[in-house]
């Protein structure tokens, strides 16, 4: 990373974390399997009534995606904390917030994108139409990066603490609620003929704000945790 510009440094962090994620495929598969199991269990428990399943489908998929995203937060900074990489980030000639943005981007590519890609297939279990599945995929594409960005703050604040997983859940779940409401609401509004543009626009606005503010907040939290 020596002598590279900020953009190249962020790209290096993304490539590095994706390479590590590919080497530890079990963690990525655990998140994906958890998502599939949670979404698939609801039709078995609720019953075969398609009207009921169609109504609850978007919310179930979104809640499962939220929980799966939170499940993967524990490894966002843990390995770098243990091997001293985070200390090197602190003394690197680049803003820590940019390097954090690269790590969050790699986390989303490894754990969020697979959820987005498989969600339409799981939505078929709920009798969702092609238009609803398209909106569902679009809302997840906008919303899951926000989940990763917000979750990074909680992961940084609880870094190195015993029982950090429970603390992360308590910290980030209230922040996730607006994303959940807008994401599931987009599909429901489209199914009702009201159009999903408003909900998707709000998700896009959340993404822009989160991408701008959360790397700075996460970098500050990391400095506090490492002191």
Average pLDDT, rounded, for the chain: 88
DSSP-derived letter for residue 75 is G
pTM, two decimal places: 0.90
CA dist 94 and 155 (Å) reads: 21
Helix (H, G, I), strand (E, B) or coil at 4: coil
Q: Apex CA 48: angle with CA 44 and CA 54, to 5°?
A: 100
Decide if 188 contacts 182 (C-beta within 8 A). no
71-123 pLDDT, tens digit each? 888 778 888 888 888 888 888 888 889 999 999 999 999 989 999 999 999 99
Domain residue ranges in the chain: 6-226
174-216 pLDDT, tens digit each? 999 999 999 999 999 998 888 889 999 999 999 999 999 999 9
Quick count: other Cβ atoms within 10 Å of Cβ 124?
A: 11
CA dist 129 and 123 (Å) reads: 9
For the ranges 1-10, 17-26, 183-192, the maximum mean pLDDT occurs at 183-192
116-127 pLDDT, tens digit each? 999 999 998 898
Which of 83, 86, 72 lies closest to 224, judged by CA?
A: 86
């Amino acid at each position: 990373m020596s002598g590279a510009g900020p953009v190249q440094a962020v790209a290096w962090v993304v490539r590095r974390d994706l390479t590590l994620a590919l080497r530890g495929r079990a963690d990525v598969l655990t998140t994906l399997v958890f998502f599939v199991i949670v979404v698939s269990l609801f039709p078995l428990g609720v019953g075969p009534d398609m009207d009921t399943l169609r109504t609850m489908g978007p919310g179930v998929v979104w809640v499962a995606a939220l929980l799966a995203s939170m499940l993967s937060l524990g490894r966002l900074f843990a390995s770098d904390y243990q091997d001293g990489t985070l200390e090197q980030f602190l003394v690197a000639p680049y803003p820590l917030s940019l390097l954090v943005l690269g790590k969050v981007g790699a986390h989303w590519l490894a754990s969020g994108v697979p959820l987005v890609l498989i969600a339409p297939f799981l939505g078929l279990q709920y009798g969702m139409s092609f238009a609803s599945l398209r909106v569902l995929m679009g809302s997840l594409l906008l919303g899951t990066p926000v989940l990763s960005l917000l979750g990074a703050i909680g992961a940084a604040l609880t870094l190195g603490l015993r029982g950090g997983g429970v603390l992360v859940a308590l910290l980030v779940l209230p922040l996730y609620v607006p994303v959940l409401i807008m994401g599931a609401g987009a599909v429901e509004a489209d199914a009702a003929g009201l159009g999903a543009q408003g909900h998707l626009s709000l998700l896009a606005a959340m993404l822009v704000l989160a991408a701008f503010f959360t790397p700075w907040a996460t970098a500050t939290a990391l400095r506090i945790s490492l002191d």
